[in-house]
């Protein structure tokens, strides 16, 4: 078997793309999107007509409502290809407004349901701020499932588990990026590969905690920089992988063994913990990497949301 097929023995493979025309060749179960991926897709000639058609059909609506129509349209196309779920992201500019995120999620779910898609096939994606986690807590109680993204710190993962979140997306590659940049010329790649990669270590810690204490929230490693990071997390509940890395896995027949195992997690020397708002904010602030990358991620997604707005305004 190639490495992609080997990985599927241990882990649910998810495609991290807005380019739904690429999906079928990798046969992922689910797919994830975000404003940056959708922006990248709609600038390709193959997708420009879909954008123009959707904007034209909703000319009289406010711009934010048209954006949601476009995001859901991509989600609907993706769901024609994958048998499982699609993650659709709430505007990152709402990341510190719990009520606004809940309202936006309600609208997105209503659009999917109007198109005949049940809410069990949609994950609402919000940033793992304190406000985002509380929005997810409310939505989960309503039967609207959530994917908490931009997750870099252990405190974020614990709070998500306590909130009953369906799925979290810890960002392996961005954690790796921060530590590599911070180390500068002192960074030795060979010393931080595989299980020694700081991004891999973060996901492995969260996975072990969830399995040891029976937290039902699924762990989906995300934001990979190389195949080695993926191999080091084989056995994680889910991994969301970009098309180029899916292709690299598909092209290799090298052995790929399970790295994370729930039975092994039971033996981990860790203790249960919990966070209220004050302790969560302090823990996040104390983690320089997580604090930096969360803020940077929200800024980047918000900037791409502004660009997407601009593209749509130009078509109205």
Residues 270-299: tens digit of each pLDDT: 999 999 999 999 999 999 999 999 999 999
| Domain membership of residue 289 as a residue range | 3-313
Q: Up-side HSE of residue 231: CA atoms within 13 Å toward CB?
A: 17
Ramachandran bin of 82, using left for φ above 0, alpha for ψ from -120 to 50, beta for the remaining angles: beta
Dist CA 295 CA 298 (whole Å): 5
96 contacts: CB under 8 Å, gap ≥ 6: 129, 131
State pLDDT tens for residues 61-85.
Answer: 999 999 999 999 999 999 999 999 9
pLDDT above 90: residue 87: yes
**Cα distance between residue 168 and residue 209, in whole Å:** 13
Is-contact 148 105, C-beta < 8 A?
no
Mean pLDDT of 201-213: 98
Q: What is the dihedral of CA 129, 135, 138, 140, to 10 degrees?
A: -70
pLDDT, tens digit, for every residue of 116-167?
999 999 999 999 999 999 999 999 999 999 999 999 999 999 999 999 999 9
**Chain position carrying tokens 């940077």:** 296
Query: Is 208:268 a contact under the CB 8 Å cutoff?
Result: yes
Mean pLDDT of 10-32: 93
State phi, psi for 229 to the nearest 5 degrees.
-65, -40
Q: Which residues are catalytic?
A: 125
pLDDT at 316: 81
Distance in angstroms (rounded) separating the CA atoms of residues 170 and 151: 5
Give the number of domains in the chain.
1
pLDDT above 90: residue 267: no
Place of tokens 């922006």: 39
pLDDT band at 243 (very low <50, low <70, confident <90, very high): very high
CATH of the domain at 24: 3.20.20.70
Average predicted confidence (pLDDT) for the chain: 96
With both helix axes pointing from N to C terminus, report the angle between 130-141 and 277-286 in degrees, rounded to the nearest 10.
130
Closest CA to 5 of 254, 250, 255, 235: 250
Task: With beta carbons less than 8 A apart as the criterion, state whether 7 and 239 touch.
Answer: yes
Alpha-carbon gap, residue 16 to 34, rounded angstroms = 9
């Amino acid at each position: 078997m190639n490495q992609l097929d080997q990985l599927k023995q241990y882990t649910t493979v998810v495609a991290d793309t807005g380019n739904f025309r690429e999906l079928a060749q990798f046969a992922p179960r689910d797919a994830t999107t975000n404003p940056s991926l959708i922006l990248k897709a709609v600038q390709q000639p193959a997708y420009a007509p879909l954008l123009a058609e959707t904007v034209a059909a909703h000319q009289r609506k406010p711009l934010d409502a048209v954006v949601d129509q476009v995001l859901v349209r991509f989600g609907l196309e993706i769901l024609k290809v994958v048998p499982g779920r699609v993650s659709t992201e709430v505007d990152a500019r709402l990341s510190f407004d719990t009520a606004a995120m809940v309202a936006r999620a309600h609208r997105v779910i209503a659009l999917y349901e109007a198109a005949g898609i049940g809410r069990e096939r949609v994950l609402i994606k919000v940033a793992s701020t304190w406000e985002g986690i509380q929005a997810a807590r409310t939505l989960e109680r309503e039967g609207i499932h959530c994917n908490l993204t931009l997750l870099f710190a252990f405190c974020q993962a614990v709070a998500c588990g306590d909130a009953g979140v369906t799925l979290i997306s810890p960002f392996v590659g961005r954690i790796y990026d921060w530590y590599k940049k911070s180390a500068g010329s002192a960074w030795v790649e060979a010393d931080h590969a595989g299980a020694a990669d700081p991004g891999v270590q973060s996901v492995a810690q969260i996975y072990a905690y969830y399995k040891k204490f029976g937290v039902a929230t699924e762990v989906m490693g995300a934001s990979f920089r190389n195949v080695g990071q993926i191999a080091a997390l084989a056995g994680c509940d889910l991994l969301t992988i970009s098309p180029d890395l899916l292709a690299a896995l598909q092209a290799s027949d090298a052995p790929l063994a399970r790295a994370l195992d729930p039975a092994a997690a039971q033996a981990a020397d860790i203790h249960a913990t919990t966070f209220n708002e004050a302790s969560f904010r302090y823990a996040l602030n104390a983690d320089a990497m997580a604090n930096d990358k969360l803020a940077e991620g929200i800024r980047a997604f918000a900037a791409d949301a502004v660009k997407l707005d601009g593209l749509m305004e130009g078509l109205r």
